[in-house]
Structure 1
Amino acid sequence: MGNPELLIELLRYPMPFGKYKGCLLRELPMPYLEWFAQKGFPPGKLGMLLQTLYEIRLNGLEYLLTELERRK
Structure 2
Amino acid sequence: MKPIHCLGLLPFVAFFSGGWLAEHLAPRVFGLPFLMAWNVLWLVASSGIMALMFCLDGSTRAGAIAEDTVDGGRA
**Larger strand proportion, structure 1 or 2?**
2
State whether TM-score is above 0.5: no
For the pair shown, the structure with the greater C-alpha radius of gyration is: 2
Q: Which has the higher contact order (CA 8 A, sep 6+)?
A: 2
TM-score normalised by length of structure 1:
0.33
* Higher share in helix: 2
TM-score (norm 2): 0.32
